[in-house]
Amino acid sequence: MGGATFPEIEGGGSLILAWQVKNKKVLVVGGGEVAAGRILNLLNADAKVTLISPRDGLNPEVAYRVDHEQVEYHDKKFEPSDLDDPAITMVLTAIDDPEASSRVWKLCKEKRIAANIADVPPECDFYFGSVHRDGPLQIMVSTNGNGPKMANIVRRRIAATLPPNIGAAITKVGALRKKLRVLAPGDEQGPKRMKWMTKVCVQWTLEDLCEMSEQDMDDLLQSFGPDVVPSLEELKLGETPGQWQFDGSFGWACVI
């Protein structure tokens, strides 16, 4: 490899992923404050939540979710047979009984179901971090179970440095990407789409992206073929490849 250098391995971390649980069944055991936070995270991710907890153990927020039928609710204590449903993809427990929590953990291991046992890091296949949310933007800070409060402090510090309009800008970028896929479909166009979108994100400011209208998007897409990125001001003034005429292959263009 000659003089090549590579990153040093730093063990002890977690593989941080964005787990897609949309329309997937997740079982939550317990109905207290911790369960309330877990349920909110799951519902924000469009999961199908099944909750098992005696009614007298529900905190006000969890009771609200139950009363408004935002979760499938079973007013009882957990039983091993509750894990027999093959549709369950994940189990979260948030109960005050350590022995009962460990029993759930062992049952999940037997059935190969990913589980998180609140406040017991060794009995977790994954951890919940402190999350900042702004529209489509999500930033998670994890301490790998060492200090949840510190994760919250770090997350707040990071969030304070972000522009207030970054979520709206990302939403506009997502809409532009969808339009681009319609304009230039196919895997063969993939590399060019990625490079062109990168140029847009680098050359345009967050304010430009937020201000971009549907018409601006359509006008901007006219420059995909010749692989240029005009500024928003140029689009507004009509001073850009306006316009460009394509032969349909995105291989060349001429200016009129």
Buried (b) or exposed (e) across 211-247, using 16+ Cβ within 10 A? Answer: bbeeebbebbbbbbbeeebbebebbeeeebbeebebe
Q: Which residues face 244 on adjacent strands?
A: 255
Q: At 119, is the secondary structure helix, strand, or coil?
A: coil
| Same domain (yes/no): 40, 112 | yes
Q: At 226, is the secondary structure helix, strand, or coil?
A: coil
Closest CA to 230 of 217, 220, 216: 220
Give the integer Cα–Cα distance in Å for 43 and 216: 34
What confidence score (pLDDT) does residue 43 get?
97
Give the integer Cα–Cα distance in Å for 161 and 141: 15
The DSSP string of 182-213 is HHS-SGGGHHHHHHHHHHHHHHS-HHHHHH--
State the catalytic residues. 119
Q: Which of 140, 162, 184 is the last residue of a domain?
A: 162
What confidence score (pLDDT) does residue 147 get?
85
What confidence score (pLDDT) does residue 2 get?
62
What is the tens place of the pLDDT at every residue in 14-56? 888 889 999 999 999 999 999 999 999 999 999 999 999 999 9
| Same domain (yes/no): 103, 172 | no
What confidence score (pLDDT) does residue 254 get?
38
Low-confidence ranges of the chain (pLDDT < 70): 1-3, 239-256
What confidence score (pLDDT) does residue 248 get?
46
- The structure tokens listed for 55 are 């009614």
| Same domain (yes/no): 56, 90 | yes
Give the integer Cα–Cα distance in Å for 45 and 87: 17
Contacts of 30 (CB under 8 A, 6+ apart): 52, 53, 57, 93, 94, 95, 118
What confidence score (pLDDT) does residue 150 get?
93
What confidence score (pLDDT) does residue 240 get?
57
Q: Domain range spanning residue 155?
A: 129-162
| Same domain (yes/no): 34, 121 | yes
Q: Is residue 190 part of a domain?
A: yes
How many domains does the chain contain in total?
3
What confidence score (pLDDT) does residue 61 get?
97
Identify the CATH number of the domain in which residue 93 sits: 3.40.50.720
What confidence score (pLDDT) does residue 111 get?
96
- The structure tokens listed for 35 are 């369960």
Q: Is residue 11 part of a domain?
A: no
